[in-house]
Structure 1
């Protein structure tokens, strides 16, 4: 057999490159959510993906490179999809509804995100925190805060809210609820709520708190539920 026929040792066939790389990234993100980044080894990732450690090292030289890819190719696109539609001048309630719905839609596709966010981004010692800071849409969050402040000035939004914190409140409520969804269901011996129920609960907390929603909000919620 010639050297040419042997190919490049350790390198998968071209047709398998994307599938193998995606399998490894999926395995890594699942394990990060379950065990944390620091406790997840390359051997664990390869085993979860059903591939060899050599293939993992072919795609990702070390953990630092792997973390860069997870942020750039998984978390950053999710953040962009959630916040890009936020525009200056929009109604604050519509902005909040949109952000919550897009976050929940993204989490439905990537259920590992909330646990990883809580552990590796919010936590002061989180290993994804510094990387994520480069992708956080501070200008978009500011737009949301300014919309709330305008609503307060026109007396259509609760004056007790801190407009500078509203963006963090929205993100925090979604991530905390989704990260603890299985745990809370287990503790209270109940079925975990579906995505549409979570959307109504979270937006209800944000927009109405413990007060009954306005007639307009009630009609809109019923309309969305019937779609």
Structure 2
């Protein structure tokens, strides 16, 4: 680790006091990435910009992170990977897809990750920066996967994805954060039976 500065170039003179290559540098990079992603979004932020904002050599960003996707995911600090939670959903027809979306939400939130998810959701609602980053992640990762392969113009697909999100986010808030009864105590199969038809309509039926 001590050889990093000579391998990857010289750190600007104004930044030489920092301990390049330490965990402190990794946290500086993450903090800079959070600010830039929140302000400019994923596409509007480059790794070179992140390095400049953090005051580190650009090669150090590549040393700690595999690429921009990983840096973004770690910046958002989600308790679970949406791609893993929704794996395979894009191959299903709208009816099966709607049910699997609800089941995936229930599996995740009724796992040991529930406390972390509640804390994350509450923290996100109270932070403009985290809300902006979560919006970017949901648009790029969650909604693209949910809507993959379904018909419609890009505008219609975006609207349908937004409407699906109202059901999913509403379910998470009411069942697991607010804990409104009787939904909070309803059996998972009953939740799927009640919620999936709305999601199926938003996915493919006339709006």
TM over 0.5: no
| TM-score, structure 2 as length reference | 0.44
TM-score under structure 1 length normalisation: 0.41
Quick one: higher RCO (CA 8 Å, sep 6+), 1 or 2?
2
